[in-house]
Amino acid sequence: MRKMKLTTTVILAVCFVACSSSEPRKILVPINSNVSLTQTRAPSIVLKEPIVDTGSPICPHDMVFVSGEYCSKPNHDQSQYDETGIGDPQCEIWMEKPCDQGGTHPSCMFARCKKYKATSSMCLGETVHKEFCMDKIEYTNPGDLLPLTMSDPLRHNEPVNFTHAEKVCAENGKRLCYETEFEFACQGEENFPYSTGYERPDLICNIDIEKDIGGPGDRMRKDLLVPSGSLKDCKSPFGIYDLNGNADEITIRDRSPAPSNSKETGKHKNALKGGHYAPVRNRCHPTTTAHDDGYYNTVTTFRCCTDPK
C-alpha cells in the first residue's frame, strides 16, 4: 500500500495534482433534476433507484453493449504524465500552462486541456473491432450509492485493489474490464479525448475539485465522491457514466507497458483509468501504471465487463 502526500499546491501520488484556485465549481446533480449547485465539494445526493440499462438481448440488464472500431492511438494520445513538460499540440485551450509554455514546475507536468481541436480525434494507429458488455456505472455494493473504494465491508473489509476487483466481478458472473475496453467505451468511435467530447466536462462530471480534498491518513476524502451514475450528462457516446472523474478505475493492463519506476516492472496487471475528482487529466486514453496489483485508495474503484452472449 502506498500513501499519498497532500500539500497546498501539489498532490504527488503518481496520479494527481491539486491546484491553487479558490473559485467554486458547479456540478449538475441528480439524474432527473435540473438543480445545479455551486460549491467546492461534491453535493450530497440520494437516489431512490439505481441507474441501470434497460438491457440488451446480449448483455445483462445493468450493462451496456459496446461495439465498433477502436482506435489504439488517437491524435490526442498522450502519456498520463508529461515528464518532458511539452504540452499536447492538439490542445486548443489550456486551463494552465504546460511547462514548455511557461508553466510552473512541477504542476505544469499535469496541465489540463480545456478544449481540444477537432483534429485530435484523427486515428494514427491501427483500428480493432471490439464487442463487449460494460457496467453502466461504477461498481457499488448492494444497497449503496457510492462507488466501492478503499475496503469492502461485505467481504471482511478486504482492500479494494486489482485482485479484489477481479474477485468481485467473477462473483457477479463477469470479469474485470481491460484497459483498451475502457478506452473504447470512453472515446467511442468518434475518438473523443473526453467521454463527453472535445471540451473538458468540468461542469458536468465530478472533476476539478481543488479545495479541502485531504482526508485522514494523508489520503483523499471519500465524501467528495458522488453516487455512481448520478450526474446525468457525464456519460460517454455509448451512454456509460463517470468514465472521467469521480473515482479512478482499475482495469487489466493490455496496451500500456509498466513504467520503470514500478516495483513490479512488466509483471503487474493493474492499470488505472479515467482519473478521480481532483484536478487531473481525466481523459479517456491516459493510463496510470505505476501502482501494482495491491494498490488501493479512497478514490480507486472499478467496474465489470463481460463478453456478449
- Residues 28, 30, 31, 35, CA torsion sign: negative
What is the residue extent of each domain of the chain? Answer: 1-309
DSSP secondary structure of 120-163: GG-B-S-EEEEEEEEESS----TT--SPP-SEETTTTTEE-SHH
- pLDDT of residue 145 exceeding 80, the answer is yes
Task: Kindly tell me if the per-residue pLDDT of 306 is higher than 70.
Answer: yes
Confidence of residue 177 (pLDDT cuts 50, 70, 90): very high
Q: pLDDT tens-digit profile of 83-99?
A: 677 788 999 999 988 88
Q: What is the pLDDT of residue 56?
A: 63
- Secondary-structure class of domain 1-309 per CATH: alpha beta
pLDDT of residue 100: 87
Mean pLDDT for 2-28 is 35
Residue 27 has pLDDT above 70, yes or no: no
Of 148, 176, 168, 182, nearest in space to 306 by CA: 176
- The pLDDT score that the predictor gives to residue 107 is 79
Can you tell me which residue has the cell 481525466? 282
* 76 touches 121 (CB < 8 A): yes
3-state class (DSSP) for residue 216 = helix
Q: Quote the pLDDT of residue 129.
A: 98
CA distances 296 to 3, 159, 246, 300, Å, are 10, 6, 15, 6
Question: How many other CB atoms sit within 10 Å of the CB of residue 47?
Answer: 14
- Indicate whether 7 pLDDT > 60: no
Q: pLDDT category, 109, cuts 50, 70, 90?
A: confident
- Burial class, 88, CB count within 10 angstroms (exposed 0-12 / middle 13-18 / buried 19+): buried
pLDDT at 18 over 80: no
| Sequence-separated (6 or more) residues with CB below 8 Å from residue 260 | none
- Report the largest interatomic distance among the alpha carbons of the chain, rounded to a whole angstrom: 53
**pLDDT of residue 171 exceeding 90:** yes
Q: Which ranges of the chain would DSSP assign to H, the alpha helix?
A: 162-171, 179-187
**37-83, pLDDT tens digit by residue?**
333 334 333 333 444 444 568 999 999 999 999 999 999 987 656 66
The residues near 275 (Cβ < 8 Å, ≥ 6 apart) are 15, 16, 207, 244, 245, 248, 281, 282, 283, 286
pLDDT for residue 104: 86
Q: C-alpha grid cell for residue 154? A: 461485505
Residue 147, pLDDT score: 98
Distance CA 144, CA 160 (A): 15
Q: What is the pLDDT of residue 216?
A: 81
Whether the pLDDT of residue 4 is over 70: the answer is no
CB 194 within 8 A of CB 244: yes
- pLDDT tens digits along 260-304: 655 555 578 999 999 999 998 899 999 988 888 999 999 999 999
Mean pLDDT throughout 99-111? 84
What pLDDT score was predicted for residue 143? 95
Here the cell at position 222 is 471519500
Q: Which residue has the cell 500552462?
A: 97
Mean pLDDT (whole number) for 7-12: 33
Q: What is the pTM of this model?
A: 0.82
- Residue-wise pLDDT tens digits, 186-242: 999 999 999 999 999 999 999 999 999 998 887 999 999 999 999 999 999 999 999
